[in-house]
Amino acid sequence: MRKNLTHALAAIVMLAIAAPAFADGPGNAGPDVAAPPVRPATPAPQPAQPAPQPTAEPAAIEGRTGVIPLGDNLSINVPQGYRFYGEPQARAYLDRNNAAAPAGTIYGMVARADADINAPDTWATVISYDAIGYVQPETAAGLTDTNFERDVREARRTQNRTFEGFATPPAFVAEDPSLAWAERILSPGSRGKDYRYELKELGRHGVSTLTSIGTADQAPEITTAAAEIAGMLSFNEGERHADFQPASDEVSRYSIPGLVTGVAAQDPQAVADPAAAGGTGQTAFGGLAGWFPWVAFGVLLLAIAGFLMMRKRRDEEEEEA
């Protein structure tokens, strides 16, 4: 028991010695005030970013004026009252108006200088060239055939084009020579451009075409402007219709009515009036005609040689007699 008592006293002494170690110790603790909140460190200043600039609107496409070459056959001299736009704008215009593209190569289009070519009510004239050969003016008589309009209607059906009849019947001018007509290209009551005016100028190796797309109420303005635009066009030297060379140039499979239907003849066209063409008859295989003068010359030489031989023999027989 004495041993247990000794252990208890020792434990009390050790507790008394360790108590000061767990105390706050001497000193002034200060007023009982809450510590200030801990704030995050202020980040370093970043360089100022430039304010975003508004996106610029795409620049409007500007048309051209003056003399503009169009391939190897044509050129156009556009005055200040009109503007010429390139082939991409011409195709885009046709696509926006669901209009069939003309045959051949599209060079561009012409519109009035104050017109917005992207506006839905703007008419414009597409310029193209089709190298189909020399079209004979003598074939224009077919325009008066009784079944001609029926042929045009059938041709448009196979071409997947709407044809509601002629707004202006086809008319051929031999002095130019040129061909013009207008079609109604939408059914009655339809919305959109319903008027298509075509003017074709005949050249030595092909035909240039002015295709104007608009509405019926714009017909007078389109017709007047088409004549003005045709006056801006000119065939290059040696490419005019009057420059046709029957001994070497190709005659087109298209007749004048065929320019309207867009359908070529199955067989080559023959020149109806050789004198008017300035030479002998000619087919689409025009280069062969160049041999005929040489053949005729050869026949003439043979005839002369035969005559001289016969005369020499007769003279010899007379001498012997």
pLDDT in tens, 104-138: 999 999 999 999 999 999 999 999 999 999 999 99
- Report the share of the chain in percent with pLDDT over 70: 65
Report d(CA 289, CA 280) in Å as an integer. Answer: 8
Asked, for residue 79, whether it belongs to a domain, the answer is yes
Query: Model confidence over 56-111: pLDDT tens digits?
Result: 444 457 899 999 999 999 999 999 999 999 999 999 999 999 999 999 999 999 99
Asked, for residue 35, whether it belongs to a domain, the answer is no
Tell me the CATH number at 187.
2.60.120
Asked, for residue 272, whether it belongs to a domain, the answer is no
Query: Model confidence over 184-233: pLDDT tens digits?
Result: 999 887 888 999 999 999 999 999 999 999 999 999 999 999 999 999 99
Asked, for residue 112, whether it belongs to a domain, the answer is yes
pTM of the model: 0.68
Asked, for residue 220, whether it belongs to a domain, the answer is yes
Which residues constitute the domain of residue 187? 66-135+161-244
How many structural domains compose the chain? Answer: 1
Asked, for residue 113, whether it belongs to a domain, the answer is yes
Asked, for residue 151, whether it belongs to a domain, the answer is no
Report d(CA 70, CA 86) in Å as an integer. Answer: 10
Closest of 266, 269, 272, 293 to residue 283, by C-alpha:
269
Asked, for residue 18, whether it belongs to a domain, the answer is no
The more confidently predicted of residues 296 and 72 is 72
**Could you tell me the two tokens for 210?**
């002015």
